[in-house]
Structure 1
Amino acid sequence: MTVLLPLCLSVEINREGLPYTGLNTTDWETGVLPPLTDMWELNDFQIAAKNVLAARWYASYRTAALDQVTYQANLNIWKKIRLNGFTFRDVSNVNLNTTILGYNFTVPFFIAPAAYAGHTNESAELSLARSAGKLGALYVPSIESSKTLQQIADAGFSNQTMFHQEYVWSNRTLLIEQLRQIEAAGYKAIFLTVDNTGVNGIRVQAMRQTGQLDSDSGHSASFTLEALAEIRNLTTLPIVPKGIKTAADAKTCLDLGFPAIYVSNHGGRVLDGVPTSVEILLDIRRQYPEVFEQMEVYADGGVRSANHVIALLALGAKAVGLGRSPIWANIYGEEGVDRMLMLLQVELQTSLQLMGEADVQNVVGNTSYINTKQVEVDYFGVN
């Protein structure tokens, strides 16, 4: 059930710096769900969510830490990247299929963990699971979901593969029990979020709505390499550390034998001022290129179009996560998430064809498809 604002005729919505692509909101009514047929790109769903959600719940998803420098950088980094389009190539048969930890998926993007989807729709995580399953995409529910992990697993299709997210709780009993439940429910891997150490980020925008500080996360503040090794012994499922923000930590995970890492700054919601995933991937490639050769790498952060997916793939990501966009689309429930995923899929196929590439796997780690010189000058200070 969507939480609505008081009814008001006609509305113009602050786009908060999102690119304008012709979305006309003047016929919308505040607090009323706009027509789904108005949605033609991922940013449209955020505008629709801002129109219909109560301010507290919109802020809870949109918020970022402190001055939101990293949040804005996530959205703006793409302006510094150019895609190379090659001609004279056969692109009549496009392949978007990929594998993640050996499991087959139809697209190289996935629905990333995002907490409490029930604030957008009563279907909560169930619609996200079903939409991902219909497309053949990966869904990774948050451990802080509105529905139980068993309910989410049951909502999926019999042949659907889902992973699950977990936090490093200071309550060891809780951690062990959740890992047991994740295994028992049939999830195939764990994205272990490692960038929340003891406290959440200071998310001012959300605090203005709640009137409360939100810093005590219940996460362990003594999470060392020894503690990480111990968690690996608590489950038979493969663990992917999520929240890698430095090349040094990527190399550490490789040395420890993890099958994959997840490069992410948590949507700018934790430590403000950290690099974007684009910059982190460039730094890993610069210092430890063997990371991409010997383990899988996933990434997210400000992904709002297929061109962003392509850029991260070309930088070495095997798969790309979507955080806020599926949540915004979920104001329409399953039908909205279906449309959001379909639009991104069509964008991806179209952009690949226009770049002269028929197989998305040929893009992964292939920097000939992108020009990142401007990012490198800004980040590394070199020409």
Structure 2
Amino acid sequence: MADLSFLNLEEVEEEAKKVMPKMAFDYYSTGSDTCYTVGENRSCFSRYLLLPRMLRNVSRVDTSHELFGIRSSMPVWVAPMAMHGLAHPGREVATCRAAAAAGVPFTFSTVATSSLQEIQETGHDNRIFQLYVIRNREVVRRWVTEAESRGFKALMVTVDAQRLGNREADARNKFTLPPGLALRNLEYLSSASTVQARDSQDGSGLMKLFTSEVDDSLTWEFIPWLRGVTKLPIIVKGLLSPADAELAVQYGVDGIVVSNHGGRQLDYAPSGLHMLPAVVAAVRGCGSSIPVLVDGGVRRGTDVIKALALGASGVLLGRPVLYGLAVGGQAGVERVLQLLRSEIELSMALAGCSSVQQIGPQLLLPAPSAGPAPPMPAAQLCKL
């Protein structure tokens, strides 16, 4: 029986490291080049303090949340992540079932070891399909059409991986897909590509697959094309620049995820949390009210509250979900999500917030630091 005694989302990573093959753990845990951005994603949360308010009625704290008509038990979605089968035989199916049990939306990756049909058959109502855009638009159309027909509620288009970052751990480990696993959504592609990804002996097979298939000439003009083939909400994931956020609004996207791809793409890119206030300001400056989510480095309930206070509409949770899957399958993921929700609920109560809507910039202070002050919402100081 799996040991699910870990008490927080930091500890589950240590437990996962004990049970996972090194190649798989390194694939999940590392980033590109020096991995500076991986560390920055975590450390950026420590640059903010929370200023609690007292004598508020917090006898009942409501952590529930809704975006795009998608209900959640907390302002957290499971982020899109590749190849859950590296962590556990239950694959994405187990993760999706755990998300359903926790009342949390699940984002399903193009680069998955389960199929769209299998995810539909879990019965989870709140599913989002993450889309990598390849050159063959007919395959893209088939993915989108199938996702829509199988009841997925939105599309999340990843735009920061037109080429893969320099992931030295994968090259060092000669990353290959273990026997018995297949990239199920890539069956529409040529068999040569999928075999290449599985059997590469000189580094990450995914590098070769993406180099040969992913569209590195992609531009904003893809958004109108996609709008013409689907009625689903279109969320663009991977923006950091406020200028790109303005373009996203101009091209009519329905939502944005501020993200650096978990530190796996451009090293020394800023964290999503660092850029969040500027991106939100750019979107609102365009007169748009579209949701702006953020990911990267979330490990505590207080991290979620800080992100919401900085203007995030919601938060995506990534690596800890995979670590929970590795440690205990579906039950491990449920444990991760339960711990995070409990922390969010308690932290909200201690901060004097009885609902997610009460979380705002008035809760934030810059932490004492020798470094530059973090960006703060403009109207904050007058509300302290």
How would you bin the TM-score normalised by the shorter chain?
A: 0.7 to 0.9
- Contact 1:292-1:316 at 8 Å conserved across structures: no
Aligned to 1:220: 215
Task: Say which SS state the counterpart of residue 236 (structure 2) adopts.
Answer: strand
Q: Quick one: which amino acid aligns to residue 22 of structure 2?
A: A
Per-residue deviation, 1:227: 2.4
CA separation of 1:241 and 1:286: change in aligned 2, threshold 3 A: closer
Aligned to 1:369: 363
Equivalent of residue 143 in structure 2, options 178, 190, 206: 178
Q: Quick one: which amino acid aligns to residue 128 of structure 2?
A: F
Aligned to 2:260: 265
Q: Quick one: which amino acid aligns to residue 368 of structure 1?
A: Q
CA separation of 1:147 and 1:215: change in aligned 2, threshold 3 A: closer
Matching of residue 104 in structure 1 with residue 99 in structure 2: no
The whole-number CA distance in structure 2 between the counterparts of 1:348 and 1:380 is 23
Aligned to 1:202: 166
Task: Say which SS state the counterpart of residue 377 (structure 1) adopts.
Answer: coil
Q: Which runs of 5+ in 2 are unaligned?
A: 175-201
Aligned to 1:127: 94
Task: Say which SS state the counterpart of residue 104 (structure 1) adopts.
Answer: strand
CA separation of 1:133 and 1:142: change in aligned 2, threshold 3 A: same
- Contact 1:261-1:297 at 8 Å conserved across structures: yes
Q: Quick one: which amino acid aligns to residue 206 of structure 1?
A: D
Percent identical pairs in the alignment equals 29
The whole-number CA distance in structure 1 between the counterparts of 2:79 and 2:331 is 18
Equivalent of residue 252 in structure 1, options 247, 264, 269: 247
Q: Deviations over 1:34-72 (max 9, x none)?
A: 6212x1001111111111111111111112011111111
Task: Say which SS state the counterpart of residue 34 (structure 2) adopts.
Answer: coil
The whole-number CA distance in structure 2 between the counterparts of 1:44 and 1:179 is 37
The whole-number CA distance in structure 1 between the counterparts of 2:221 and 2:288 is 26
CA separation of 1:292 and 1:146: change in aligned 2, threshold 3 A: farther
Equivalent of residue 22 in structure 2, options 52, 55, 60: 55
Per-residue deviation, 1:275: 0.9
Structure with more contact order per residue of length (Cα contacts < 8 Å, sep ≥ 6): 2
Per-residue deviation, 1:379: 5.9
- Contact 2:245-2:282 at 8 Å conserved across structures: no
The whole-number CA distance in structure 1 between the counterparts of 2:140 and 2:3 is 42
Aligned to 1:147: 114
CA separation of 1:54 and 1:273: change in aligned 2, threshold 3 A: same
Per-residue deviation, 1:180: 1.3
CA separation of 1:373 and 1:347: change in aligned 2, threshold 3 A: closer
CA separation of 1:288 and 1:236: change in aligned 2, threshold 3 A: closer
Q: Quick one: which amino acid aligns to residue 169 of structure 1?
A: I
Instruction: Kindly report structure 1 stretches of 4+ aligned residues shifted beyond 4 Å.
Output: 285-288, 373-376, 378-381
- Contact 2:223-2:253 at 8 Å conserved across structures: no
Equivalent of residue 335 in structure 1, options 321, 324, 331: 331
Per-residue deviation, 1:377: 3.2
Per-residue deviation, 1:104: 1.9
Matching of residue 36 in structure 1 with residue 27 in structure 2: no
CA separation of 1:289 and 1:140: change in aligned 2, threshold 3 A: same
Q: How does 1:323-362 map to 2 (within 5 A)?
A: 323-331=318-326, 332-362=328-358
The whole-number CA distance in structure 1 between the counterparts of 2:286 and 2:46 is 26
Q: Quick one: which amino acid aligns to residue 68 of structure 2?
A: L
Aligned to 2:184: none
Q: Quick one: which amino acid aligns to residue 20 of structure 2?
A: L
Q: What TM-score comes out, normalization by structure 2 length?
A: 0.85
Task: Say which SS state the counterpart of residue 163 (structure 1) adopts.
Answer: strand
CA separation of 1:328 and 1:166: change in aligned 2, threshold 3 A: same
Matching of residue 163 in structure 1 with residue 137 in structure 2: no
The whole-number CA distance in structure 2 between the counterparts of 1:114 and 1:68 is 18
